[in-house]
Amino acid sequence: MGQPLIFSLIDKAIFDYNLIKSGDRLLIAASGGKDSTVLAEYFSNRIKRKNCDFSVKAVHIETEITKPLSPELKETFSLWNMECENIKVDVLGRLKKDKKMNCFWCSTQRRTELIKYAIDNNYNKLVLGHHMDDMLETLLMNMLEKGELSTMAPILNYKKYPLTIIRPLCYVTEDKIIEHAEKSGYISQVCTCTYQENSFRKEARKKLEFLTGGDPVKKQHMFDSLKNILTEYLP
C-alpha cells in the first residue's frame, strides 16, 4: 500500500526546495493543531521508511491562551515515537500596558521562544506548519495592507540567527490536511482565544475563497505565479 498523497506532496516540496540536508537537526513547532500534527506524523513515517541522516523533535509552546497538548495527542505522538517537549510562556504578562492583545503579538512571542530553544539546543532548522492557503492569504494581506508582493517562503535563512525556517506543507492545501486528519482520526487542538477578531487573516481567508472558489487548482496557479514572474509586464 502506497503512502498518503499528502506525504508525497511533502516529499516533493522537500526535494524541490532542498529543505533537508544530511546532519540537519529539525525542530517541529507543534501547536497541537492539524497542520503541525501531520508534520509530526510525516517525519515519523519518513524515519521508518527511509534511512534518514537527520534528527527531529517537536516542541509545544504553552501560554495562557494556548494550553498544553491534550492527553490524546500526547499519546498519538508517543505511538509515532515523536518526542514532544512542552514549554510554558507568559504571553499576556509581556504585553505593554498601552498595547492590545492580538494574534500577531501572540505568534511573535511563541516564535521567539521557539527560536531561543532551537539555538540553545543546537537545532539548525525550525519546521513550521504553514500550508499553501496560509501562504496565499499572507500574499493577499501583504498586497492589500502593505502594498508589497511577498509572502511566507518555503525556506528562509534568518539573518540574525544561525537558524533556517522550512515549510514542508507549501504544496498542500488546507482541505487536503483536513481530509487526511479526519481519515487518520487526529485529536487536534484549535486556538480558542478571544482575541482572534483583531486578526486580518480571517478577512484574507474570505478573499482567497472568493478569488478561487475554494478550487485547489486555482490555488495552485496562484502559488505557481509567485515563481513565474514576468517582470517586463510589471511596473
Of all residues in the chain, the percent with pLDDT exceeding 90 is 70
Q: How many DSSP H helices and E strands does the chain contain?
A: 9, 6
Q: Find out whether 40 and 211 touch, Cβ atoms under 8 Å.
A: no
What domain range includes position 197? 5-229
- Cell matching residue 156: 528562509
What's the CA gap between 121 and 189, in Å, rounded?
26
pLDDT of residue 66: 75
Number of domains present in the structure of the chain: 1
Residue 234 included in any domain:
no
- Residues 213, 218, 220, 222: what is their CA dihedral angle, to the nearest 10 degrees? -100
Per-residue pLDDT reduced to its tens digit, 186-233: 776 666 565 655 467 889 999 999 999 999 999 999 999 999 999 999
Across-strand partners of 157?
A: 164
Q: What is the CATH number of the domain that holds 136?
A: 3.40.50.620
- DSSP-derived secondary structure letter, 227: T
Per-residue pLDDT reduced to its tens digit, 122-148: 999 999 999 999 999 999 999 999 999
Specify the higher pLDDT residue, 234 or 98: 234
Residue 156 included in any domain:
yes
pLDDT of residue 96: 72
For the full predicted model, state whether its pTM sits above 0.75. Answer: yes
Residue 235 included in any domain:
no
Per-residue pLDDT reduced to its tens digit, 31-78: 989 999 999 999 999 998 877 899 999 999 988 777 788 889 999 999
Of all residues in the chain, the percent with pLDDT exceeding 70 is 91
* Average pLDDT across the chain, whole number: 90
Residue 198 included in any domain:
yes
